[in-house]
Amino acid sequence: MAESPITARGKDFAAWYQDVVLQGDMAEPAEIVKGCMVIKANGYAVWELLQRELDDRFKATDHQNVYFPLLIPQSFMQKEAEHVEGFAPELAVVTVAGGKQLEEPYVIRPTSETIIGHFFSKWIQSYRDLPMLLNQWANIVRWELRTRMFLRTTEFLWQEGHTAHSTHEEALEEVLRMLDVYADVAENVMAMPVIKGMKTKSEKFAGALRTYAIEAMMQNGLALQSGTSHDLGQNFGKAFNVQFQSSAGQLDYVWQTSWGVSTRLIGGLIMSHSDDKGLVLPPKLAPKKAVLVPIYRKDEEKGPVLEAAHRIAKEVGAKVDDREGPTPGAKFFHWERRGVPVVLELGPRDLASGTIVLKRRHTGLKEVCGQDALAAKLPEVLSQMQQDLYTTAKERLKTNTVLADSIGDVEDILRQVTAEKGGGQFVMAHVKDDPVCDARMKAFKATVRCIPLVDEYDGPGKCIITGEPVDRRVVIAKSY
């Protein structure tokens, strides 16, 4: 297997990541212009596959897709106090339109809780209207100071679910259900293991009661927040006057949730599996699962090889790279870089023996197999590869997670790992959910990533900062 970037590239991980995304002058998945991202064909195809996986799950849990405007009246933004304050620094505001100064500016949506709250109040009157389970696929704008391809761009694509419920219990169930959907897609589709947990109070979404998240570990040991699910309580219900009449005839405010994942997932995917040769895509998200490269020397070989190539490719659902210009070597390189899981090689030798060469992207191993056996073998290989990628990533997460029982240890571990590898580790320690503790982490550039929903360690203990009792270890790490 190609050496993992965590050891191969050390501190150059960021540069390596840029290389994989840009692929030199080929610029395959994406490029960036003034902080905004152009997603190219290979990157967008992955997003489309990911979208479908997510959308199928949303539909299966009774959600409906809708679309709300990109431009939100500024006054809407200002109705929920904590929400305005949290988002104010990163808002893009439209003040001039049609050549005139606007009486009321629009903000370009940084998220849609406000405008959806406005419509919830028009659409919801009775408990019979609940739950209202909506989702929208959209682009949003947040004026970030420092952008990084896929991970943080000024404009990005995402999915935002917004739901309204008659009780807090039901809303909380929804919050956790959707967190599970995200974890399912991350682990079983992206082959990216995640830790489900709750954000600390100071890290929660502006305007939420609580934020839940999935955290993944990249190859260099840094954490990536990969999806969030918010318990909004009645905050937006009250701000937008979303009231309903219960079966008992009483008026109450709705309990809302919102949840989202973005094109950041593609960044996580790249940083989870790719190597120095380029992209590595898990088969379930590979736009092309297999490419067949025909090899021939002489004109009389060309006909039979191409004929067999197309026949076999059709049988197994592969694409034939029958371009005339590039040599087979150039083609191997081309597809390897783009993360195609399996490259098949078919030449005169194979025609003579009825075989075909199969190369796996993630291990680089070549294997000769019978042409007749390929149709049965390919799906197996792909499914094994999907599993392998997950196992490798899971193993990495495990070996790079360590326990610590004092704040000094946490700091030492993170400092040492950063010095050696330029990355990080997940440090599990007992820490109270308190802004004081969050602030203490900041001193060494780490954060409490989440308080895991499932405690896989030793249960309760004393906070390593305040000494107060807490019920489990939390994840501390440096992050993107």
Q: Which residues bind RNA (CB under 7 A)?
A: 14, 24-25, 32, 34-35, 86, 89-90, 142, 144-147, 151-154, 156, 158, 205, 213, 225-228, 260-264, 277, 295-297, 326-330, 332-333, 336, 343, 345-350, 357, 359, 364, 366, 442, 445, 479-480
Smallest gap, in angstroms, from Cβ of residue 177 to RNA?
A: 18
Question: Looking at the DSSP assignment, which residues form a beta bridge with residue 402?
Answer: 427
Alpha-carbon distance of 135 to 257, in angstroms, equals: 11
Q: Which is nearer to RNA, 186 or 427 (CB)?
A: 186
Q: Which is nearer to RNA, 115 or 450 (CB)?
A: 450
Smallest gap, in angstroms, from Cβ of residue 278 to RNA?
A: 9
Q: Dihedral of the CA atoms 203, 412, 417, 399 (nearest 10)? A: -80
C-alpha closest to that of 449 among 221, 232, 118, 155: 221
Edge-first strand order for the sheet with 92-97 is 71-73, 100-108, 92-97
In the chain, how long is the greatest CA-to-CA distance?
A: 85
Within a 10 A sphere around the Cβ of 321, how many other Cβ atoms? 22
Q: Which is nearer to RNA, 227 or 233 (CB)?
A: 227
Smallest gap, in angstroms, from Cβ of residue 86 to RNA?
A: 7
Query: Which residues are CB-neighbours of 425 under 8 A, at least 6 positions away?
Result: 221, 400, 401, 402, 413, 414, 417, 477
Burial of 72 (0-12, 13-18, 19+ CB in 10 A): buried
Smallest gap, in angstroms, from Cβ of residue 91 to RNA?
A: 11
Q: Which is nearer to RNA, 122 or 442 (CB)?
A: 442
C-alpha closest to that of 306 among 328, 326, 287, 321: 321
Q: Which is nearer to RNA, 24 or 459 (CB)?
A: 24
C-alpha closest to that of 33 among 158, 155, 157: 155
Smallest gap, in angstroms, from Cβ of residue 261 to RNA?
A: 7
Q: Which is nearer to RNA, 139 or 167 (CB)?
A: 139
Q: Which is nearer to RNA, 166 or 211 (CB)?
A: 211
Smallest gap, in angstroms, from Cβ of residue 104 to RNA?
A: 25
Smallest gap, in angstroms, from Cβ of residue 129 to RNA?
A: 29
